[in-house]
Chain A
């Protein structure tokens, strides 16, 4: 029906320009706005600059985890090792480098990237399903983390710990947003969307689907390396178990942000907004006096809810035509 209608419109309005906004891509910003409005009603201090800075600071690890997860999900895969890689990076940084911040950053990114490339190679060339590969690797990385540091301890270079204070969290997020813009303009970005939307079609169009998978898994790993540094900065030491709980929230944040499980759909900025929203929801639930052990229930329910929202908004777009002026929500 819609297809036929659209086809007729094309003929009728050959020259008019239309602005097309994917509903799935913008839903999170509307949601985040409503959430902040609601938070302000409960807690008037929400909008104070220092509080906003604090919110961003405690969201940082999840932001990087969600963007890494979002990248992998754009490929049509999933990464269940997000928490385990952050943990591994955390214990490596805390036990090996306690003084040299540059070495710490380099090592963290190398460890994260290595972990990502291993998963990427298994998924792309051995053709194993990513859900199995990353679940198994999560167990492996967790084991190595326990070997490196059996009990919490170690220390993090003092300079790195400064990363979550002052204006740094905002600076980091701005750099990330810019880097994601850069990624979206890269050929690699287009390859990622194409390989995720339809690997067979991308292959037949001559796109190196396998290589794209490995590279993207590697980049996601680097982002997890950064998440590991930020987590270390937050905790000031190493803990072989603490960061494991990041996997589910990372997936939830990416889905909240409009990234589809089936791949090739959504924006990575959405994942950032999703991570901030999820952190704020967690905070709000806590502020309302709900006991901490309900947090898991809230997280799980949110994931299911966000998948539902993503279904409802997927393939729908707001089409704004200038001449003749018309705004419509259509099924793409």
Chain B
């Protein structure tokens, strides 16, 4: 019976010592939409990449209609009838919508040139079949990101795939466009094809899916029929056994509330939000920034760090206004920043651990412009001991360290600069559990020494376990501030999904758009503009 559809059989994949997928099996029938949900790092995207042919599994098999597929490249997957729409756009801006839709199989004239009429005709077929609202003659450079996402979907459909995989294709979309994608997914399934739908938004999953599989830490936790599943069941599967969580929040939590340290007023334009936002950070406080992907929380952190220009922002350090237009400015004022993607934005690959470690304090380790190698090495040993970095020698190239140790080097880099405020962007992404625990301990001990920490994280567990207070963003607004007993995973998830808090917590109204300080604690009120 299972032979009719797509079957993923006992697939495993690991990167170095990190297991991205462990023995995961799925079956997707023609005519069904199968949703895949999980937190960041749960292995969803690895599974999608395997289906798309861009990553090969270490073990396991993929079957379609009783035939085993060898997906060794994206073109193999394409020929096997699996079309994938990625979250990152691959539309070519200088071509028209019609050309982009037929890009994978451009019809040609006998002379070998591109047959423009046929291109248009083919694109029209796809667009009319699924009822897309796009102008086929428009250049893609003139379209919004939302429209481009639809073009991407139309392109995937133009190859008449047997299996359509959507990897968070709705995350950049507003409600009407997302609804259109959901309708198209149902139509595609209705036409007897199999659809794999990945989304962060549980609402969408309930609207579109027949089945839903939950992944957590690379393991398949459950596959449920949507008709017999409640929201609570799904949340339970997503978050896992709380007792087993590495973070016992009460062990790490220390009550804080020292004197105010940093106040920020960010007009909406500077963080590309829908409303102005202001917040304060006290000495010794760890404040989280939470939200689904792309709700503006990352930009807020980048603006404070000077990584985005953010003109018009006001920052007060203590009582002193400071001007921060680059990370170098931020560093001068003791605002130390660890960017998100350590490979792309943080580390100097090909260079030694030492070079990477002392990069932010070169002024302090040099005299008359000369670097003091001995002092550098002393600082290296100090950080290796303090953070528990596993490393052979300071000369070792940074790439030869595991992800967790690389992240510790980045953390060490800013610690050497003696931060007053630490600005962290998803510091534990893709690192192993032990290293995570080390990072959390370091953050807490820094906070105990009076450092203020602003932590953007995509992991709810982390926010709930580490933060004293969490600012939650939804729809590019600051919608809630949770503190104290409210910073549970469940409260956070509800707020991140943009749902009213009144159903869970009758004491509070739905988060007001501009909240100053914490509503439940004696926090300093925000800066008035």
Contact = CB atoms under 8 A, between A and B. Distances in A.
Nearest to A208: B328
Contacts of B395: 18-20
B521 interface: no
A97 B515 CA distance: 72
Interface stretch (B88-96, B205-213, B341-349, B486-494): B341-349
Interface string A187-225: 111110110011011111111100000000000000000
Contacts of B108: none
A185 interface: yes
A292 interface: no
A18 B393 contact: yes
B348 A186 contact: no
Contacts of A207: 328, 359, 362
Given A7-B401, A17-B393, A194-B359, A186 B346 contact: no
A264 interface: yes
A191 B307 contact: no
A20 B366 CA distance: 24
Interface string B336-354: 0101000011111111000
Contact of B396 (A20, A200, A203, A264): A20
B17 to A, nearest CB: 6
Interface in B365-400: 366, 369-371, 373, 390-393, 395-397, 399-400
A161 B390 CA distance: 57
A325 interface: no
Contacts of A194: 348, 351, 355, 359
Contact of A206 (B331, B371, B373, B390): B331
B348 A202 contact: yes
A205 B417 CA distance: 11
A6 B419 CA distance: 32
A197 B327 contact: no
A202 B351 CA distance: 12
B397 A332 contact: yes
Contact of A187 (B307, B369, B399): B369
B348 A197 contact: yes
Contact of A332 (B331, B350, B402): B350
Nearest to A197: B348
Nearest to A24: B350
Contacts of B370: 185-187
Contacts of A203: 326-328
Given A198-B348, A206-B331, A332 B362 contact: no
B16 interface: yes
A202 B359 contact: yes
Nearest to A265: B350
B393 A204 contact: no
B349 A7 contact: no
B360 interface: yes
Number of chain B interface residues as a range: 35 or more
A203 B330 CA distance: 11
B242 interface: no
Contacts of B401: 6-7, 10
**Which of A7, A9, A13, A201 has the most B CB atoms < 10 Å from its CB?**
A201
Contacts of A193: 348, 351, 355
B396 A18 contact: yes
Nearest to A330: B400
A187 B371 contact: yes
Nearest to B397: A332
Contacts of B345: 200-201, 204
B399 A3 contact: yes
A188 B400 contact: no
B121 interface: no
A11 interface: yes
Given A198-B349, A201-B347, A206-B360, A16 B413 contact: no
Interface size class of A (residues with CB under 8 A): 35 or more
Contacts of A317: 397
A202 B346 CA distance: 8
B400 A3 contact: yes
B37 to A, nearest CB: 29
Given A18-B396, A204-B307, A205-B327, A315 B350 contact: yes
Contacts of A315: 350
A186 B397 contact: no
A206 B307 CA distance: 10
Contacts of A186: 366, 369-371
Interface in A281-307: none
A13 B307 CA distance: 38
B133 interface: no
Contact of A10 (B332, B339, B350, B392): B392
B348 A201 contact: yes
A14 interface: yes
B392 A204 contact: no
Contact of B351 (A11, A17, A264): A264
Given A187-B369, A206-B331, A200 B397 contact: no
Interface string B213-233: 000000000000000000000
Contacts of B366: 186-187
Given A207-B328, A265-B350, A7 B17 contact: yes
Interface in B406-421: 413, 417
A200 B417 CA distance: 19
A206 B393 contact: no
A187 to B, nearest CB: 4
A30 interface: no
B363 interface: yes
A126 interface: no
A14 B359 contact: no
A286 to B, nearest CB: 38
Given A201-B347, A202-B348, A188 B369 contact: yes
A41 interface: no
Contacts of A188: 369
A10 B396 CA distance: 10
Contacts of A264: 348, 350-351
A332 B330 CA distance: 32
Contacts of A17: 392-393
Contacts of B369: 186-188
A6 B360 CA distance: 26
Contacts of B391: 10
Nearest to B326: A203
Nearest to B367: A187
Given A186-B371, A190-B362, A20 B393 contact: yes
Interface of A: 2-4, 6-7, 9-11, 13-14, 16-20, 185-191, 193-194, 197-198, 200-208, 264-265, 315, 317, 330, 332
7 contacts: A3-B402, A13-B392, A186-B366, A193-B355, A201-B347, A208-B328, A332-B397
Q: What are the nearest 3 A-B pairs in CB distance?
A: A206-B331, A6-B400, A4-B16
Given A193-B351, A197-B349, 14 more contacts: A4-B17, A10-B392, A186-B369, A187-B370, A188-B369, A194-B355, A197-B348, A201-B346, A202-B359, A204-B327, A204-B337, A206-B326, A264-B350, A332-B399
